[in-house]
Amino acid sequence: MIWAVFKIMALRLLRDRGALLLAFVLPGLVYAIFAAIFSSASGGNLDIRVAMANISPTEDAASFTRHMQDDPDLTVIYDETWGAAQISQHVREGTADVGLVIRGDLSDSASLPLLLITEPSREIAASVLNGQIRAKLARHLPHIMLKEQADNVQRAIGHYAPEQIIALNAAQKQMAEDGKVASANADIESLIETRSALESLNGEGANRPILKDASIAYYVGAVAILFLLFSAMQGAAISLEERGSGITQRLLMGPRGAFAMLIGKFTFLVVQGTVQAFVILGVAALIFNVTVLPYLPALLLISLACACISASLGLLLASLSQSAVQMHTISTFAVLLLSAIGGSMVPRFMMPSWLQEAGSLTPNALAIEGYYAVLARGNSALEIITPVCSLLAMSAICLLLAAYISHRFARL
């Protein structure tokens, strides 16, 4: 009896390709994704994108710019015509993780020659860049680090004696000529001013409050699209139960048959998904003080787009499945995979560059960008048209494929 039961279950598993994928392929695939992410992040080798501008005329600034561009651990976006406004725009729009503006003489700490422009949801990128700046100064501009250390000591103990100043200047000159590597442990905070890219939104007219904790806005989109996908998959799976009970065959006898049935299900799933998204937004507003009401049109637009892609993807997978069990297996595989690489589980900027590129086209990445743009940056409905149109285009493709497959099924 024991052996018979074991054999039956083994045969069922072997004959169900979806169950085989879920049991033996998905765990390894998800592990590989998370291993790639955290092996990069834990080693401090985040592949961050840095938007950089140099508006300083000094030779040290030009040399520092070249060394930053040559850093293999950074993806530097640079244009000699850019200033602080352009860098702030790149960071705010997400085309760069952090910005750096060289705006003065690096040897004059009183002028705060380095401006670091950060994005609240990617503060770790600023920490990584800070470390890279320290390393570059120590290796390629050691006289700057020596002067900074000397200035720190002077602030602690008072003025140097004249002979000490002469010796210090000579040491700086010698280090600049020899290219000797300085200690990278010097405090360089007095060289850097840090500013949020979102601060520039203040004073741009309309009421645009900036969310202090950007991670709250980030996870509105991350969680919303995750659960919209799961709910749509579950709702679409009902059609498989109807197919087995004969309800589908009776519905197909009516006018417009398969198409009308598909549109009816799609409409219901879109309404359901939109309501679910606003439940999450309500929780964010009531418990975490996220500003929602001024942005209702934009939030409605991105929520409808997310509900559309979730519904159409669910209906497509349902049309491809032969049973409710198979649908459950395939949908679980698809949702977990899209969520892992799309940023619902781990922010995409922490991923290797190849994984960031792969995840940029997922519904999860587009949904996160849309919600974050509205809730954290205060963007209007018109300003999030790119992620919305991308989601709607994906939805149309999935729905057309589902309609074609359903039509073929109706003819069988």
Residue 145: CATH number of its domain = 3.40.190.10
Spans of the chain below 70 pLDDT: 1, 5, 13, 17-19, 21-23, 26, 30, 34, 36-46, 109-110, 143, 145-188, 200-214, 239, 241-259, 407-412
Q: Is residue 50 assigned to a domain? A: yes
271-294 pLDDT, tens per residue?
A: 999 999 999 999 999 988 888 999
Whether residues 83 and 212 fall in one domain:
no
Whether residues 312 and 175 fall in one domain:
no
Asked which of 167, 186, 201 is the last residue of a domain, the reply is: 201
Say what the pLDDT of residue 207 is. Answer: 42
Q: What are the E-state strand segments in 44-119?
A: 48-54, 74-78, 98-102, 114-118
Whether residues 190 and 280 fall in one domain:
no
Q: Is residue 21 assigned to a domain? A: no
Whether residues 305 and 386 fall in one domain:
yes
Q: Is residue 100 assigned to a domain? A: yes
Say what the pLDDT of residue 255 is. Answer: 46
Residues of the domain holding 67: 44-201
Domain count, the chain: 2
Whether residues 385 and 242 fall in one domain:
yes
Whether residues 264 and 339 fall in one domain:
yes
Say what the pLDDT of residue 203 is. Answer: 44
Q: Is residue 6 assigned to a domain? A: no
Residue 256's region, left for phi above 0, alpha for psi from -120 to 50, else beta, is left
Q: Is residue 143 assigned to a domain? A: yes
Say what the pLDDT of residue 371 is. Answer: 95
Whether residues 176 and 213 fall in one domain:
no
Say what the pLDDT of residue 181 is. Answer: 47
Q: Is residue 390 assigned to a domain? A: yes
14 phi and psi angles, rounded to 5 deg: -65, -30
Interhelix angle 324-342/214-236, rounded to 10 degrees, is 160
Distance CA 370, CA 217 (A): 10
Say what the pLDDT of residue 190 is. Answer: 72
Asked which of 141, 173, 201 is the last residue of a domain, the reply is: 201
106 contacts 61 by C-beta, under 8 angstroms: yes
141 phi and psi angles, rounded to 5 deg: -130, 60
Whether residues 263 and 169 fall in one domain:
no
